[in-house]
Amino acid sequence: MPQELAKVTFYLAKAGRKFDDLLSDPAEVIEDGQEKEKDRKVRTFDLGEVPVMVVCQLNRVVQTPPWIDFINERIGLPEDRIAFSVNSVRPSGVILIELEGRVLAATFGTGGRSLLKFSEFVPDFGIKTAMNMCGNQDLRQTKTRTHALTTKQIDRQVSRPSDSLDFGMTETEILKYISAHAELDKNVTLQGKDSLTVKVIGDEKLSWDRLVEWSEIFLQKYKEDRYKQLFPNYPAFEPVPSEIVDILDQILVDKIKSGDLTRLHLAVPEFLPDDDFSFSYSNHASKNIVVSHVVASDLLSQKHFPTDKLSVAKLKAKQIYAYSHEQDKILGDRCWSTYSCIVTEVDHAGACYVLSEGVWQKVDDDFYKAVNNFIAKVLPVEKVDKKFHGIDISVVKERKNKESRFNERFAELCDKSIMFDRAKLKIGQGRKDKEFCDLLQLCDDGRINIIQVKQHSGSSNLSYLFSQARFYCDFFLSDQVFLDEIRDFIKNSKHGKVDSFLAKIGEKIADVNGGSFVVKLWTLYNEKEAPPAPVDLPLMAKYELKLAYERLRNINKYANVCYSTIPVKIVNFQLDRGGGKKKAA
């Protein structure tokens, strides 16, 4: 009687890969009938005109459970100790199927996945195929990750198949996984992430013929772009094949060697407060140069990056270290490769590619156009009064550049403003560590400006500015505790126009209207450099800006959201410091 399966998990190999390229330990793969180890067996055959390889392996585990070790800690005599062990022998397998020049891997058993070399498989096969085959009507489960100040993993599950709208995903969430019924067969449930898991109920399960039939459908559906309209929460980036990565890396090195730093920024891949940290390109035992911030032009420094020796390998090996002002030392355990600190966009073969956090990704054409059209045609860009230009934000004693210096000076020059920078406020029942904004300014037209300020440095810093504005301004209109804290801060400021501020900010959430406020997003740049154009912002920073604008204008109904760049005096302090390493005796 023919055997059938009710559950199979599929992976799709990258283009051009052969069977032997895909197994985690190819040395163990040997010809039919010549197994040297009984624990692994390999067979190859054709299913009609479809080449197939089958690899089966026994996974042997002999292990004492940790809780027994825990008990034995309190038993003195060795002969009295409990000596139970678990001897587990479980078979696992993978079927490799070649169709239309691509290889699909179907895994079985608890260790089937471990037989595959995952660097050789595409990471988006499962979720794209599931989205295209299931649509957005009969979802059972989703997993998302927030694209906001604090990264959150959010799992949602409903008691019956439901429309994606019922899941309540916001525009700041990135879809990572779905489980849903296939549109063409409600007896089939698909679970999509990097892999595609197929579950079948009823009589018609997966036979060999149906395995090939479904594999052909999966390959076809993976190529479709229907998911873009159905699931706007799915990221608009695609993985890049290794051969294209090599080309992009060479383009990057050639650009740097030629001195072309357009559309390129240098920034550590995590947010660090400028007030607390500086950076160093070395961590020697004796002498190091500490700089207040990293900039793209440092890549042209013959001292740090000799041009004649520059290569991708050098960029990956060369570390950028955090320097802690509080500890007065370079932190040897808090560093990043220079390559992972480069944020750039490269056009190649009619497509746009982004390098961020050391990973190249291809940008979806529609997404790229939508973000840039927003910047060019929608985003209001304002000029700030020249009396606020050229403010010196350097603090010589601390050898830092601090946004707080700009905020302090602005508040001195504008008697209609209150500085909220470093305010410690509370949202809901959370910690009292929120700011709301940097400056609050009364306007002659009766509105109030909510001003957020950040130095124009890297993608992480700018993205933080835009997501911070969205986060705080959202809670300003929805959280009573936060509103009370803001009003109390204004009352305690002893500002001459306290009553005027409070007259515009009602006591109750229902009394606060977003239309009475304008959100201002200000970036400070070095007055010795050309003003950074919004179109030249890193792509992900532009995306965050678009999300912030659309949330605050379309949902929160703020009167406006405006972007500005302001020239200030910035000093690139350099310090001579010893490293975090100890000098050898």
Summarised one tens digit per residue, pLDDT across range 32-86 is 334 444 478 889 999 889 999 999 887 665 567 778 888 888 898 888 888 776 6
pLDDT confidence of residue 61: 59
Over residues 455-472, the mean pLDDT reads 81
Return contacts of 179-188, CB within 8 angstroms, 24+ apart: 179/130, 179/139, 179/140, 179/141, 179/142, 180/130, 180/134, 180/135, 180/138, 180/139, 180/140, 181/134, 181/138, 181/140, 182/133, 182/134, 183/133, 183/134, 183/135, 183/137, 183/138, 184/133, 186/138
* 159 confidence band (pLDDT: 50, 70, 90): confident
pLDDT in tens, 293-337: 888 888 887 677 777 788 999 999 999 999 888 888 888 878 999
Q: Which two tokens stand for residue 277?
A: 């940290």
Q: What is the pTM of this model?
A: 0.68
* Residue 168 scores a pLDDT above 90: no
At 127 the pLDDT is 93
- CB-CB contact of 460 with 267 (8 Å): yes
Tens digit of each residue's pLDDT (9 = 90 or more) over 215-265? 999 999 999 989 988 888 787 778 788 889 999 999 999 999 998 887 888
Burial 528-556 (b: 16+ CB within 10 A, else e): eeeeeebeebbbbbbbbbbbbbebbbeeb
